A and B are shown apart, each in its own frame.
Chain A
Amino acid sequence: MRSATCLFAVVCVCACRIIAFPSAAPGDDEWLPINPADLALKDNPASPGSHAMILYRQEFTDASNAASTEYYRVKIFTEEGKQQGDVEIPFVKGRDTIEDIRARTVRPDGTVIPFTGQVFEKEIVKAGGIKVLEKTFTMPDVQPGCIIEYKYKVQRDRDFFWNVGWSVQQDLFTREADFSIHPPGGAFAPATFAHTVGLGQPVKPEKQKNGDYTLVVHNIPGLPEEDYMLPKEMLRGRVEFIFKPATSSPQTSEEYWKQTDKKINDSVENYVNRKGALQQIVAAATTSSDSPEAKLRKLYARVQTIRNLSYEDRTNQEWKRQKIQENNNVEDVLKRNYGYTREINDVFIGLARAAGFEANQVLIAPRDQRFFFPNFQDVSELDDDVVLVKLAGQNLFLDPSAKFYPFGILPWNETGVTGLLINKEGGQFIDIPFPKSSDAVTERHATLQLGEDGSLSGTLEVHFIGARACALRSDERTDDEAGRKKDIGKEIKSWLPAAAKFDITGISGWDDSSAPLVVSGDLTISDYATSAGNRILLPFTPFIAPEPRSFQTATRVNDIYFHFPYQQRDDVSISLPPNYRIETLPQNLPNLASGAIQYTITPVKQASSLEVKRTFDVQGVMFPASAYSAIRQVFGLVKTGDDEQAVLQSAASAHQN
C-alpha cells in the first residue's frame, strides 16, 4: 500500500474479538496463520471488483510506552494491485523511530518469500530543524493472487505522545481491523473519551478490565474520490482518544467548554476593554442620528480600514523591517492601524459595545478545513472567529476582518457551522446559518449578433454579486490589473465553448466591496450556429454549465457537497442575420421552479432576435448520496435545457414554404 498511515468508514462493527486472531501482536518473526481460503480468494466478495483489499489489520498502541505496532495483511487481486507492494511509512526524525520492519509475500500456493531487501529512508521534507522522512521498501514477487504482509513498530518521543487515534478507514476496503490501546499511566489519567468520526454509525471502543480500550471492525469500505464531496480527510473514519493530565479532574464535555469559554472570555474582555479609546472612534465614525444598523455598518467600514496582517505573505525578515509590533489590546490595534484577523474582530466587538450593542466573539472551525466536534474537547480546532451582534433582537454574524466581505456577508467557510459563543456564562454553542443563494449571484448579460456564417459576436457583461464578488476580490488581492484580467478571463472562458474568444475591455468594482464586480468584454464564437440546408440551428445560450459533467456516472458513494448556495441569472439577446427569422422554438422546456435546485430557461421569439432568460439556483449545500439519482437527473435536465436550439429559416426558404 502506498501509505500505511492513511485513515478509514465502518459498515459493521464488532466489539468482540474473533478467535482466529490473538489479542497480542505476533512477535518479530511470527506471522498470524493464513486461512487457505484467503490464498484462493479471487476477488473481494463484499465489494467485488477491487485491485486489492486489506484482509486484516492490527494496530496495538501502548500509550504508556509511547509505542505502537502495526500489522497489515493485504490481498492482491489484479496486476494493477501490485503497486500495494510499495510501502511507505512516514515519521518525524528525532521524534519517532520506525523499528522492527518485517515483511513477506505469500504466493497463492502458500510459498513464503521473506522480504530481505533494503529499507530506504526517504526525505519528505527538511526545514527549520524539522525532518519528515519515510521508511520505504518494496516487497518481492508481488503477483495477483498473493498476500503481502508487513509489520513494524513505531516508537515515539513521550513528550509528543499525548493524543492518539485509530485511522479506521483506509483507501482500500478492509475486511477486518483490530485496534487496542493501553492508556498512558503516570502523569496521565486513563483514557476518558473516545471520539469517532465518519464511521457511519456510533462506534464505541470497549473498555477492558485492565483499562485497555479495544475495537474490532469489519467490512470497512474504501473512500473513493468524487467531485463535489467533502474533503477526503474530513470523511475518513477514525477514532480519537483524549488523555487528560492526571492532576485535572474528569470533565464532561459541557464542563470542559464552560470552563474553556470562561477563560477565553476573560482574555477577550481584557483585550477589548479600552472604553475611552473606543468611544472616541465611535463618536468620530457615527452620528447620533444614525439608525442602529447604520451605526453598525459605519463601524464595520471603519474596522475594515485596519490593515489585516493575516492577508500578507511575508517572511519574518520583512516583518521585522516593517517594525510590526505585538498588539496587547484593541487600543494598540487602532493606534497602529494593523492587526491579525482575531485582533481586528475584537476591535469591532469593542466598538459595537461602545456604541451600545451586545457583541460577542464566536469561535468556529472553518468548514473548508475541518468539522468541529464539541465532544472532542479541543479548543485549538476553533481557530477562526466571527462576531455576533444583536441588532433589533436578531442575531447578526459579521466578520469585518474578512477584508473584501461587506457588512452582512461572511466567507462561505464560516457559514453553516456551529461556534462557541464567548461570554461570561460560558459553554454555549450557537449555529451560524448558511447563506441564501441570493447572496452569491452571477449575472451574465450577453448582447450578440449572429452572422449568416453561424458566427456569434457582441458584448458580454458579467456581474459578480455578493459573495461571488467577495471571493474574487480576495483571490485576486495580490494581483495587478493584467493578472486579474488573465485570471477572470480564464474563468469566464471556462463557461464558453472551447473556440470562443473573450477579450476583457473593462473591470469595475474592485474597490467597493458592497458593489457588484462587473466584467465587460467582447465575445466572439466562430461557428456557433450550425447550418442545416436552408435553416440555421441556433443554440439558446453560449454558456456551458460545468456542474453536469460531475454527475454523469450512474452511481455515487459520497454525499454531494456544494460550498455555498448560489444563483446564476442570464439574459442572452441574439440578433438574427437580416434575412433570417425564427421558424420555431422547442416546446416543453425543462422547468424546475421548485426544490433545492431550480432551473428555468425561457426563450422569447422576437421579430429579429432571440431573447433567452435562464436562471439556475442551487439553494442547498449538502445532498445525501441517496438522492444522487434525482440530483443527476436535475443536472441532466439543466444540460438538456442549455443545449436547446431555435430553428431559423431564411426569408427565401420561408417564402417557398
Chain B
Amino acid sequence: MNKLSCNRPHPLIRISAAFVFLLLAALAVSPPARSANAPDWLAAAAQQPVPTSLPKDVVAVVLYSEQQTTVKANGDIETRYRAAYKILRPEGKDYGTFYIYFSKITPITYLKAWSIPADGKVYEVKDHDSVETQMAGGEFYDDLKVKALVIPAADPGNVVGYEYVQKGRPYIFQDVWDFQERIPVLRALYTLQIPDGWKYTSHWSNHNEIQPQSSGSNQFTWQVNDVPAVTIEDDMPPWRAVAGRLDVKYFSPQNAPQVQQAGSWRDLGLWYSTLVASSRDSTPEISAEVATLTAQAKMPLDKIAAITSYMQRQIRYVAIEIGIGGFQPHPAADVFKNQYGDCKDKATLLSAMLKAAGIDSYYAVAQVYRGIVQPQFASALSFNHMILAIRLPAGVPTETLYSLVDDPKLGKLLFFDPTDQYTPLGYLPAYEQDNDVMLIAPDGGQLVHLPLLPPATNRLMRIGQFTLASTGSLTGQVKEVRWGGPAVDGRAQYLQVAPKDREKIIDQFLGTFFNNFQLQQASVLNLTNFSENLILFYQLAAPTYAKQVGDLIILRPRVLGEKSSAILSGSDRKYPVEFSEATLQTDEFDFTLPAGYTVDEMPAPVKVDCGYISYQSKTALDGNVLRYTRSYQVNKVVVPVEDLRTLRSALGAIAADERSSVILKRSS
C-alpha cells in the first residue's frame, strides 16, 4: 500500500519556498559547461519525428520512456529510468526540470541528464547539480525526499532527456509503470527482470491489456505506443483513476510474505495482520482512560460515541513516518502517551480503547480518492489511509448510523474515520463513501464497498424571512441547518479560523449575493457538538438588494446559495464529472412585500431531474408574502461522459432559475 498517513485529500507535494528559490538559483550556479555526448538511446530517440497530427497546443511530447526493473533474489530491486522529451512550445520548458522521489532505502545511484539543442553541442548535468528537499505532504516528518534537476536549454525544438538508477529494498513487492502523462507519449517500454523461479501477476488500469515479450530468462517487456495525453478537467476523477498504468506483483513462491502480498485480498489482509499484530495491545493507562470516558455511558453505542469522540478531537494528527512507519502504526501505548499520531496510529489506539470497553474492531485500509482500488487486483499500493470498522454489539440501535455495512460473518460493521476531526460517528467523510476499503478481518483481508450515504443524510436547509421596502432595501434573518456533509464542511470552515474571525466567513458568504449589506447579527450553534445539527443564524440588511427601475422593483427571490455550476460550460469533456457526495439542500425564503406594490411578473416553476441531480423551485404569492422554495438533490456522485449532456442541461436550468426575478409594480 502507499504510505498510510493521509489526513484528508491533499496535494501530493508541498515544496518549500526556499526550495523553489534555490531551484531557480541553481540556474545561475550550475557548473562550467561540459562537453558531452548524448547516450545512444537518447540520440536515437531524438531522431524520431513528431507526428504532424498532434494538436497545435501540445507543449512537449515524450519521444521515448523506459523503465527497467531488476529484482534480486533477496528482494532488493534496481530500476533504471530513461525519458526523452521534445520541447515543442515555450510552455514545454517545464519538462526541462524533473523530480525524483527517494529516501534512505530508495537511494539514487546514478543520475545524468542531457539536452540536445537543435543546432549545437549536447549539454550534460549530473546528480550534484540537483536540488533536494524533504517531502512535506501533510506529514510532520517523513524521510521521503525529492530531488530536482534543471536541464539546460529546454527550449522549443530541443530534446531533453534523463537517466537515473534507483535502488530499493521494498516492503511491498510490487512495481508500477505509469506510462501516461499530460503530454502525448510516442513510445514507452517497461522491462521486468525477476530471479529464476520467481513469478509475477499483472494488472492494467485505464488501458487495454498488452502481453509482454519474454526473453526466456524471466525477463518480460511491455511496450505501448502513441498514448494520448491526459487532459486536466475540473471535477474529474483523480489521476490514478484515469491514467494508464501497469501494476506488477512479483514473488518467490518460497517466500510466504511475498506470496501473501501477491495473492488475493484475503492473503493481503493476512500479511498486513502480521505487520500490525502487537500494535493494539492495551495498557493499564489506556484502560483507565476508557473507564473514565465511559463511566456515564449506559449503552454500548454511548461507549463507542465517547471513545470515538475522544479519538477525533483529543488525539492530534501528527504523522511521523520513517521506513516501515509509512505502513506500520506506532503501538497504541505510545500514541496514548504522546496524544498524537497519524491515521493508522489513531485507528490503532481507537481499536485498543474499544477493546478495553469490550468492543471489537478491525482495521480498514482505505483510499481517499474514488476509482483507484481495482477489485479484481488485490494491491497494497491501492491505499493511502486507515480507518476502523467497529463491530456493533447485538441490539445496538442503528437508525442514526449510516456508515454501516452488514458483513455475513462479522455482523454489523460501523465504519469510522478517527482522523477526520469533524465527521461524527455514524457518518463517513465524503471521499470514503462509494469507495472501497480492505477490511483486515480475523481470517484475512476482504474488499468492502462503503456506502454512498443517501442525499437526506447530507442536508443543508435555509429558511429566511425578509421584508422588502419600496426602496429596494431588504432586511431579514436566515436560519441555516446543516447535518452530514454540509455540517462537516461548515465546522471545518468555522473551526479552523480563530473564533474572532468567524463572522468574516459569513461576511464573505453574504458578499457573494449582496452589495453594501450589513451583517447585523450572527450566531453559530453546536459548532463543537458534533452529534447535533450545525445551526447558523444571521440577520442582515441590504439597502440596494432589489432594483428600482421606474415604477418597477426587480427582486431576485433566490437570495442566497448557489447550486448551479459552470463546470460544463467549456468544451467537450473527456472524463466524467465527480460530485463529492449525495446531498439534499433546500431553501425557503419569505418576502413581505412593500405596501402599494403588486406582483407583475413571476418566474415559472422549474422542475428538472437528470437522474444524477434533481431540482425544483417555485415562487408563489400568499397575501403580501411572496414565498420562494427550492430543493436541490445530488443522487449519484459520478456522472459518466455519455450523460454529461443531460447534466449540462439540468445545470443550465438551475442557473436560469437562480437568476430569475420577480417584478413588482407600483399599484398606487
Contact surface of A with B, Cβ cutoff 8 Å: 47-51, 78-80, 82-83, 85-86, 117-118, 120, 122-128, 130, 132, 136, 138, 140-143, 224, 313-318, 320-321, 454, 478-480, 482-483, 486, 497-501, 526-527, 530-535, 537, 548-549, 552-555, 583-588, 633, 636-637, 639-640, 643-647
Contacts and interface: CB of A to CB of B under 8 A. Distances in A.
Contacts of B601: 532-535
A127 B25 contact: yes
A123 B134 contact: yes
Contacts of B120: 321
Contact of A533 (B340, B517, B663): B663
Interface residues of B, number: 93
Given A117-B338, A321-B33, A553-B504, 18 more contacts: A125-B132, A127-B29, A128-B22, A128-B25, A136-B141, A142-B316, A316-B32, A317-B34, A321-B121, A480-B89, A483-B90, A499-B566, A552-B511, A587-B550, A639-B515, A639-B516, A640-B516, A647-B663
B519 interface: yes
Contact of A585 (B516, B544, B549, B655): B549
A125 to B, nearest CB: 5
A601 to B, nearest CB: 13
B659 A480 contact: no
B28 interface: yes
B515 A553 contact: no
Contacts of A479: 90-91
B199 interface: no
Interface string B510-534: 1110011111000000001000000
A51 B498 contact: yes
A526 B131 CA distance: 49
A86 B30 CA distance: 35
B660 interface: yes
Nearest to B131: A127
Contacts of B516: 633, 636-637, 639-640
Contacts of B569: 498-501
Q: Which 4 A-B pairs have the closest CB atoms?
A: A552-B511, A49-B500, A498-B566, A533-B601
A586 B499 contact: no
Interface string B296-332: 0000000000000000011010101000000000000
Contact of A647 (B93, B320, B528, B554): B554
Contacts of A128: 22, 25-26, 29
Contacts of A640: 515-516, 544
A325 to B, nearest CB: 15
Interface in B626-658: 652, 655-656
28 contacts: A47-B500, A48-B499, A78-B499, A80-B495, A82-B316, A120-B320, A124-B134, A127-B22, A128-B25, A128-B26, A138-B318, A140-B340, A313-B24, A480-B89, A482-B89, A497-B566, A526-B652, A527-B656, A527-B659, A530-B661, A532-B662, A533-B663, A554-B503, A584-B549, A584-B552, A585-B549, A587-B549, A645-B554
Given A141-B338, A537-B554, A48 B663 contact: no
B657 to A, nearest CB: 9
Contacts of A48: 499-500
B340 A138 contact: yes
Contacts of A499: 566, 569, 655
Nearest to A640: B515
Main secondary structure of the interface of B (DSSP, over half): mixed
B140 interface: yes
A123 B130 CA distance: 14
Contacts of B132: 123, 125-127
B428 interface: no
A483 B91 contact: yes
Contact of B134 (A83, A122, A483, A549): A122
Interface stretch (B148-156, B202-210, B406-414, B455-463): B148-156
A480 B155 CA distance: 12
B330 to A, nearest CB: 11
A318 to B, nearest CB: 5
B508 interface: yes
B548 A586 contact: yes
B602 A533 contact: yes
Contact of B549 (A317, A636, A645): A645
A78 B32 CA distance: 54
B23 interface: yes
B18 A645 contact: no
A171 to B, nearest CB: 11
Contacts of A647: 549-550, 552, 554, 663
Interface of B: 16, 18-19, 21-34, 56-57, 89-91, 93, 120-121, 123, 125, 130-134, 136, 140-141, 145, 150, 152-153, 156, 313-314, 316, 318, 320, 337-340, 421, 495-496, 498-504, 507-508, 510-512, 515-519, 528, 544, 547-552, 554, 566, 569-570, 600-603, 652, 655-656, 659-663
Contacts of A498: 566, 569
A179 to B, nearest CB: 26
Contact of A50 (B152, B498, B547): B498
B133 A533 contact: no
A76 B651 CA distance: 45
A120 B131 CA distance: 21
Nearest to A534: B601
Contacts of A117: 338
A107 to B, nearest CB: 11
A552 B508 contact: yes
Given A138-B318, A533-B601, A535-B601, A527 B655 contact: yes
A534 B421 CA distance: 52
A85 B133 CA distance: 23
Contact of B26 (A82, A127, A532): A127
Given A123-B134, A140-B339, A483 B554 contact: no
A316 B30 contact: yes
Contact of A530 (B339, B499, B659): B659
B496 A80 contact: yes
Given A537-B661, A584-B550, A647-B549, A141 B507 contact: no
A317 B547 contact: no
Contacts of A534: 601
A323 to B, nearest CB: 10
B487 to A, nearest CB: 16
A305 B655 CA distance: 52
B510 A125 contact: no
B145 A123 contact: yes
Contacts of B508: 552-553
Contacts of A321: 33, 120-121, 123
Contacts of B22: 125, 127-128, 130, 132
A140 B338 contact: yes
Contacts of B661: 530, 532, 537
Given A125-B16, A537-B554, A317 B131 contact: no
A315 B30 contact: yes
A586 B554 CA distance: 10
Contact of B33 (A80, A320, A483, A644): A320
A403 B191 CA distance: 51
A314 B499 contact: no
Interface centre among A50, A126, A532, A588 (most CB of B within 10 A): A532
A644 B133 contact: no
B519 to A, nearest CB: 6
Contacts of A497: 566
Contact of A143 (B32, B339, B504): B339
B666 to A, nearest CB: 12
Contact of B19 (A124, A317, A633): A124
Contact of A124 (B18, B500, B652): B18
A624 B452 CA distance: 51
Nearest to A105: B339
A51 B500 CA distance: 9
A435 B503 CA distance: 37
Nearest to B59: A483
A140 B501 CA distance: 28
